[in-house]
């Protein structure tokens, strides 16, 4: 089957393409490379031995999407393309609404015009209300607290309305928890531009000597060691969740959490990274980061029941794979 992957050159997209190709699917990628490099797709080909049909195009460009749908017999779409930096989304909200919302609306219009109604959408645990109790289930209360989160929440609502209006649409909303790690080959991984916002890429850069120390945002949370607790999930597990969703489209618009159900603190991650890398990893305790929660982890039971998916890899494996990628590519894809 031919699958269109938007944002396929990015972190989660590139790992998902590997799993798609290994399962025998043909992959077409649309990515404008605003937060990635085409090198990731070359590395994907190195892993799988299979070619990717790559178009450097913007999902807001209706003519380009129309051409791509005209050139391939696309049956399903996995939609990763979007901007994702929480802090930046408050500084340039219009770019976020334009890219994430207008881009998705354009994609949906072109899909419908070509009779393609199967969609797997990247949502996020960020759509859950800060007041919601852990573990978070799919029916926990929702509330977004920044423009990035609002784009995800609004798009979930758009997609639910669309599926309710026309029963040809089959949509999975996948709410990811905290994807980390890298492909075990060490050929593809996370390569953020500039100073990383997220914990693991930051720790990796301290371990490899590109940054001097890790700022730990708060050590006075009501958690076992006072630092924030998150549900880290191996990006390969996450990628496989997309295949499982595609294979179990069901009907209408449905939602599942993709998480492990297990929370780890910032210092748990630092400790694992120190053990695996042998690096010292200096930390500096800083004030809490605005908008951060003490604890966030998933109830992953629904994914097991509805799409037959469970995360397999533990924190140690996530960190080992992150470190292999970092050591083999100290400057990311720019190495």
Q: Write out the residues near ligand NAD by the rule CB under 6 A.
A: 7, 9-13, 30-36, 58-60, 80-84, 99, 103, 122, 124, 176, 178-179
**Considering beta carbons, is residue 101 or 279 the nearer one to ligand NAD?**
101
Stretch that binds ligand UFG, among 52-60, 61-69, 73-81, 195-203 (CB under 6 A): 195-203
Q: Which is nearer to ligand NAD, 282 or 332 (CB)?
A: 332
Using alpha carbons, list the distances in angstroms from residue 160 to 41, 104, 121, 233, 243: 32, 13, 12, 26, 21
Query: Which position's Cβ is nearest ligand NAD?
Result: 10
d(CA 279, CA 190): 19
Beta carbons within 8 Å of 3's beta carbon, 6+ residues apart: 20, 25, 26, 27, 28, 74, 75, 76, 77, 78, 246
Neighbours of 251 (CB within 10 A): 11
Our CB check for ligand NAD shows the closer of 194 and 212 to be 194
Site for ligand UFG in 226-285 (CB under 6 A): 228, 230, 266
CB 112, min distance to ligand UFG, A: 28
Residue 216 found at the interface with ligand UFG (CB under 6 A): yes
Nearer to ligand NAD, 31 or 138 (CB): 31
Cβ proximity to ligand NAD: between 147 and 179 the closer is 179
In terms of CB distance, is 284 or 331 closer to ligand UFG? 284
Choose the contact partner of 289 out of ligand NAD, ligand UFG, none; CB within 5 to 8 A by kind. Answer: ligand UFG
Among ligand UFG, ligand NAD, none, residue 215 binds (CB under 5-8 Å by kind): ligand UFG
Judged by beta carbon distances under 5 to 8 A according to partner kind, the member of ligand UFG, ligand NAD, none in contact with residue 230 is ligand UFG
Three-class DSSP category at 308: coil
Catalytic, out of 148, 202, 221, 264: 148
Extended strands (E) in 24-107: 26-31, 53-56, 74-79
Closest CA to 16 of 241, 231, 187, 174: 241
> Which of these segments, 23-31, 67-75, 118-126, 234-242, binds ligand UFG (CB under 6 A)?
118-126
Judge if the upstream peptide bond of residue 208 is cis by omega within 30 degrees of 0: no
- Burial label, 115 (beta-carbon count in 10 A; 0-12, 13-18, 19+): exposed
CA 252 to chain centre: 23
Residues forming a β-bridge with 234: 180
| Residue 64 phi, psi dihedral angles, 5° rounding | -65, -45
Active site residue 297: no
126 binds ligand UFG (CB under 6 A): yes
d(CA 292, CA 179): 17
Closest separation in Å from C-beta 48 to ligand NAD: 18
Q: Using CB under 6 A as the criterion, which residues of the chain lie in contact with ligand UFG when the complex forms?
A: 84, 86, 124-126, 176-178, 197-199, 202, 214-217, 228, 230, 266, 289, 292
Catalytic residues: 148
């Amino acid at each position: 089957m031919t699958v269109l992957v938007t944002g396929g050159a990015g972190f989660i997209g590139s790992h998902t393409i590997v799993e798609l190709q290994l399962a025998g699917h043909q992959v077409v990628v649309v990515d404008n490379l605003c937060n990635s490099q085409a090198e990731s797709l070359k590395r994907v080909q190195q892993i799988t031995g299979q070619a990717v049909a790559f178009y450097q195009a913007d999902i807001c460009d209706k003519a380009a999407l129309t051409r791509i749908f005209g050139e391939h017999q696309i049956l399903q779409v996995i939609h990763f393309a979007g901007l994702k930096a929480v802090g930046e989304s408050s500084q340039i909200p219009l770019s976020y609404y334009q890219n994430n919302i207008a881009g998705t609306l354009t994609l949906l219009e072109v899909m419908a015009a070509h009779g393609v109604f199967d969609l797997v959408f990247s949502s996020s645990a960020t759509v859950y209300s800060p007041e919601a109790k852990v573990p978070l289930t799919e029916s926990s209360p929702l509330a977004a607290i920044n423009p990035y989160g609002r784009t995800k929440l609004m798009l979930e609502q758009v997609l639910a309305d669309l599926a309710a209006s026309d029963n040809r649409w089959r949509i999975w909303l996948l709410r990811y928890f905290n994807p980390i790690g890298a492909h075990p080959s060490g050929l593809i991984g996370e390569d953020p531009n500039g100073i990383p916002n997220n914990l693991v890429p930051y720790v990796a850069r301290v371990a490899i000597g590109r940054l001097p120390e890790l700022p730990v945002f708060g050590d006075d949370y009501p958690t076992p060691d006072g630092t924030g607790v998150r549900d880290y999930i191996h990006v390969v597990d996450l990628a496989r969740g997309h295949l499982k969703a595609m294979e179990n489209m069901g009907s209408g618009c449905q939602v599942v959490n993709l998480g492990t159900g297990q929370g780890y603190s910032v210092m748990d991650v630092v400790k694992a990274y120190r053990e695996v890398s042998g690096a010292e990893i200096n930390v500096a305790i800083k004030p809490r980061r605005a908008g951060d929660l003490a604890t966030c982890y998933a109830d992953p039971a629904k994914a097991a029941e509805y799409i037959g998916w469970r995360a397999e890899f533990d924190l140690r494996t996530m960190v080992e794979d992150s470190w292999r990628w970092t050591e083999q590519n100290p400057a990311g894809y720019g190495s």
